[in-house]
Amino acid sequence: MALEKDVDCPSCERETSFYRSAAMTLHLGEKTKWRCSECGYGFVAINGIDTLPA
């Protein structure tokens, strides 16, 4: 899995680079925590489903 990816940050209100801050395997799949490299906004993704606002 990549250590960085570009995502639309709701705090910065533009696409920025997010880095993977943590990852672990659960019974639901892989849980990954991502942080914005500019503002520190974070979100969690489990098996590709994330907590970013729509």
> Which CATH number characterizes residue 45's domain?
2.20.25
What is the share, in percent, of the chain residues with pLDDT greater than 70?
A: 98
Which long-range contacts does 30-36 make (Cβ < 8 Å, 24+ apart)?
A: 30/1, 32/1, 34/5, 34/7, 36/7, 36/9, 36/11, 36/12
* DSSP letter, residue 1: -
Residue 36, pLDDT above cutoff 70? yes
pLDDT at residue 1 tops 90: no
The number of folded domains in the chain is 1
Check pLDDT > 90 for residue 22: yes
Mean pLDDT of 1-23: 94
What residue numbers bound the domain in which 43 lies? 4-50
Q: What is the pTM of this model?
A: 0.88
pLDDT of residue 20: 97
pLDDT of residue 21 exceeding 90, the answer is yes
